[in-house]
Amino acid sequence: MIPAAPWMPKMAIVAGSSGMRAIVFEGVFGQYREAEAAAVVQGLLEHVGTKMPWGALETPGFVANRIVAATWDPRPELFDGRYGLRPAKIGVASAALAHAVATLPQHGQVYGPAGAKLTVLLTEIERKGDDMALNSADANLIQQAFVAVHLRIEAIEQSSKDESRSAQAASG
């Protein structure tokens, strides 16, 4: 490892058959993958952009970056390849939307669109997954996203049952 100033990205010398070949900037690829995932989430959220009252700062891009960062920042080792494979942007995007569905308030502005777009994304992965270059890191993240969708559906069903019981009790 080359010692670097605190403001410089971490660097490593990669040795090859011809000696020291290249300098690889650790973290840059991770930031790129994080940005790719945010772009996927943004693209999904933009489909509902005209239906949602995004605030001045709450654009789909801003929300997408916040969703991905909230997922990535606490556990970057899951996404940056530090301990194995790096997930593809689609895997990171599914994890970010699943995290949003699991942590955001159900009646919040982003919860519904995040859940709907996670469902769309997972449906697309189910349909075309064999044609996508996904690895075991993606498979783990996508499996967790499927669990999040399942829990979201159960919560919605339970909420509907509770509302129905409340309406019956009020009228009866």
Handedness of CA 128, 130, 134, 139 (dihedral sign): positive
**Helix/strand/coil (H/E/C) assignment for every residue in 25-70:** ECCHHHHHHHHHHHHHHHHHHHCCCCCCCCCCCCCHHHHHHHHHHH
In a domain? residue 141? yes
pLDDT at 52: 55
- Say if 39 falls within a structural domain: yes
Q: Which domain range does residue 36 map to?
A: 31-171
Q: Which residue is it, tokens 């449906």?
A: 123
Residue 166 included in any domain: yes
User: Residue 133: helix, strand or coil by DSSP?
Assistant: coil
More confident site: 8 or 85 = 85
Angle (CA) 46-47-49 rounded to 5° is: 55
Within a domain: residue 123?
A: yes
pLDDT in tens, 93-126: 999 999 998 888 888 788 888 888 898 899 999 9
Q: Higher-confidence residue: 10 or 30? A: 30
pLDDT more than 70, % of the chain:
77
23 part of a folded domain: no
The tally of domains found in the chain comes to 1
Query: Which stretches does DSSP call E strand in the chain?
Result: 11-16, 19-25
Whether 52 is in a domain gets the answer yes
Contact 118, 94 (CB under 8 A): yes
In a domain, 7, yes or no: no
Q: Which of the two residues, 54 and 89, has the higher pLDDT score? A: 89
Mean pLDDT across 151-169 = 85
The answer as to whether 17 is a domain residue is no
